Copies of this chain bind each other. A is one copy, B any other.
Amino acid sequence: MFTTKTNLMNPSLPDDQCPQFTTGTTEALDRAEAACRARGASLTAIRREVLELLYRSPTGVKAYDLLARIKEARPGASPPTVYRALDFLIEQCLVHKIERMNLFVACRQASHQIPSLFLVCPKCSGVTELQEQSVMSALSTSLAEAGHRLESPEVEISALCPKCVGAASAQCADGEGGALG
């Protein structure tokens, strides 16, 4: 079971000490910079700062929260400043966007052999990136039968994280439903 699970959910550790970091943030940033360079792209100061904020966050972060933080150092920063940096980082596969919540999260996978499953906690914005062969192959089969083709290698699932399980309510899962059919 190829389950490279990274727990991004522990907000209480000091910088550079989160257990999912095999080395410090600075080293990770340097590696990211090298990777960009190798692809003919450049991890400029702004981009690096945005990526650093994401590396240091245990949860997904909203664009305007990033903007607020970037503004501390660069008062002139505006929405495009951040969105452009994010676009670049996403292109470089250094960051993922969680579409359903408009959240951005640094990629902590060493590689993407398999499309990733993103478990997004609707309570705390925690994001867990999984690579699950079993789910993906079942999904591929169903998609193929339906004549569809997976568009992005990222599948988002709204699921309460272990910490937040406890208050959820799930209506609409019962036997009634649409008026059609």
A residues sitting closer than 8 Å to B (CB atoms) are: 3-6, 20-22, 28-29, 31-32, 34-35, 55, 91, 93-94, 99-101, 106-113, 115, 117, 119, 121-122, 128, 130, 132, 134-135, 137-139, 141-143, 145-153, 155-162, 165, 168, 170-181
Residues of B within 8 A of A29 (CB): 179
This chain: copies in complex = 2
| Assembly CA distance A177 to B35 (angstroms) | 9
Knowing A110-B177, A138-B138, A142-B117 touch, does A93 contact B172 (C-beta < 8 A)?
Answer: yes
* Given A35-B179, A100-B156, 16 new contacts (CB under 8 A): A32-B178, A35-B176, A93-B172, A99-B99, A109-B181, A110-B180, A111-B176, A112-B176, A122-B151, A128-B148, A135-B135, A139-B157, A150-B157, A153-B172, A155-B157, A156-B156
Q: Would A130 and B142 count as touching, CB distance under 8 A? A: yes
Interface centre among A142, A162, A180 (most CB of B within 10 A): A180
- The smallest beta-carbon distance between A53 and chain B, in angstroms, is 15
Q: Which B residues touch A152, using CB under 8 A? A: 158, 170
User: In the complex, what residue of chain B is closest to A111 when comparing beta carbons?
Assistant: B177
Q: Contacts A93-B176, A151-B159, A175-B111 known; A181 to B143 CB distance under 8 Å? A: no
Report how far A100 CA is from B158 CA in the complex, Å: 11
For A162, give the chain B residue with the smallest CB separation: B147
Are A132 and B138 within 8 A (Cβ)?
yes
Cα distance A113–B168 in the bound complex, in angstroms: 19
